[in-house]
Amino acid sequence: MGAAQTSQIRNTPGAQKSAFLRLARPHQWSKNLLLMAALIFSRHLFILHDDAIVIASVVAFCALASFAYALNDIIDREADRLNPEKRDRPIASGALSVGAAMRFAAVLAAIGLAISLYWAARSF
């Protein structure tokens, strides 16, 4: 497969979505579900207002964690290209440009901060 064909494959909408999803590392999000423990141990699991706060918190944590993963991959892209375990990451492999990754990271940060600030303002 030539360079033009490889470039064409990487620029398809499906490939771009897949690269953004891999950059966000959703397999790491399960750790954020530990926020639910507060609902369980406080016996507030069936209080809708508290459920909404925790669900929003999980979403905000996931967005902010993905922002950090994207930022790390942007910063470490040269070292990742040399690492056999990390060279297939979207930025290191060239599946995503640094500019696209930076825009994606900015959106993730904005989502996480907006959710956090909204709920923080409501709690005071």
Could you give the percent of the chain with pLDDT greater than 70? Answer: 90
Mean pLDDT, residues 8-28 taken together: 84
110 pLDDT tier (thresholds 50, 70, 90): very high
Mean pLDDT, residues 53-74 taken together: 96
10 pLDDT tier (thresholds 50, 70, 90): low
Is the alpha carbon torsion for 101, 22, 76, 105 positive or negative? positive
113-122 pLDDT, tens per residue? 999 999 888 8
Angle (nearest 5°) at CA 102 between 107 and 75: 130
14 pLDDT tier (thresholds 50, 70, 90): confident
